[in-house]
Amino acid sequence: MQGLEEIKAKLDKTDEKIIELIDKKRELIKLISKAKYKEITAEFICKEYMDFDIKRVVYQGVEGAYSHIVTKKLFPDVETENVNTFEDAINEVLNGNAKYCIIPIENSSAGIVSDVYDLLLKKDVVIVAEYDLHISHCLLGVRGAKPDDIRTVYSHPQALMQCSAYLKEHPGWSQISLLNTAVSAKKVRDDKDISQAAIASRLSGDLYDLDVLDEGINRNANNTTRFVVLSKEKIFSKKSNKLSLILELPHEKGMLYNILGIFVLNGLNLVKVESRPIPEKTFEYRFFIDIEGNLSLSNVSNVLEILKKEVTFLKILGNYCSVK
């Protein structure tokens, strides 16, 4: 029995040491100087994204695209223009031809838009707002077409994924990816082929004079796409409550675990971690991380300072909030 008591006493002492080390780490984090933190965020200013003189906003796709719908909701009185690709939209902002661009970044059913994540890494733009749009896809065909006539379906890859369960019910239909849902609707209209259909919004059907052959074909009733407003002005507001970061970590054992612990120790809620491969490093990954917080808060400044010391690459993608 004496041996068991000695073991228990040693375990208790070990627990006390672990708690002591955690407490010391917390205190060390609190004492970190903010001087270097200011270097990280020096370019960010506190200003509402709507407080600028907004003359032009761009979106990817054509009229009737979901990006077009979001753009008109957020900027109903501003001149809007469509471009062909996500990169074109971002370049319009970087070149000063537009104040903002609207781009889809994630869908609740199909996941991230990987091309957009790659562009956010390469391009010097930041997220200044986000908007969640409920998506209800329709199957659109030329006037007089019926579902039995369809042989080929066009849409954006994300829309095809979101409707995968429905499309599996029609194994005889070929699926072809295009740049945009509305572009797909326009093609069906222009080709005037009764065997072609597009997966797009009801608005696209109205704009391109197509019949709705079926609706609500995404089986997830909660299907939602997250859109972001991108700017070359590095701004955040007092209301901003989400901070998005890109991290690259040293390829060392336990590194990701240690980095995630930094957020916990600072009382920050980590709401998303998305990994993307680093092409030039075989089976190594960079991480896109979303946390709740504002750049003006001390615990956020502590985290950014620690990350700057611990990671090999750090980029702030934006500090923003959701708009209705």
Whether 292 and 271 have beta carbons less than 8 Å apart is answered as yes
Taken as a whole, the chain contains a residue count of: 324
Whether 284 and 277 have beta carbons less than 8 Å apart is answered as yes
Nearest of 185, 188, 205, 204 to residue 196 by alpha carbon = 188
Q: Please give the angle made by the CA atoms of 200, 204 and 206, to the nearest 5 degrees.
A: 135
Neighbours of 35 (CB within 10 A): 8
- Sorted by sequence, the CB contacts under 8 Å of residue 21 that are 6+ apart come out as none
Write out the two tokens for 110.
């199909």
| Integer-rounded Cα radius of gyration of the chain | 24
Q: Would you call 227 a catalytic residue per the annotation?
A: yes
Given the residues 41, 80, 181, 225, the one annotated as active site: 225
Nearest of 170, 167, 187, 169 to residue 178 by alpha carbon = 187
Whether 309 and 262 have beta carbons less than 8 Å apart is answered as no
Q: Would you call 313 a catalytic residue per the annotation?
A: no
User: Where do runs of H (alpha helix) occur along the chain?
Assistant: 2-30, 35-41, 66-74, 86-94, 114-122, 157-162, 164-168, 181-191, 202-207, 255-265, 298-310
**Which is it for strands 313-320 and 242-248: parallel, antiparallel or unpaired?**
antiparallel
Given the residues 75, 86, 227, 287, the one annotated as active site: 227
Q: What is the DSSP letter of 44?
A: -
- Sorted by sequence, the CB contacts under 8 Å of residue 313 that are 6+ apart come out as 246, 247, 248, 286
Nearest of 245, 317, 253 to residue 286 by alpha carbon = 245
Q: What are phi and psi of 208, to 5 degrees?
A: -110, 15
By annotation, the residues acting in catalysis are 225, 227
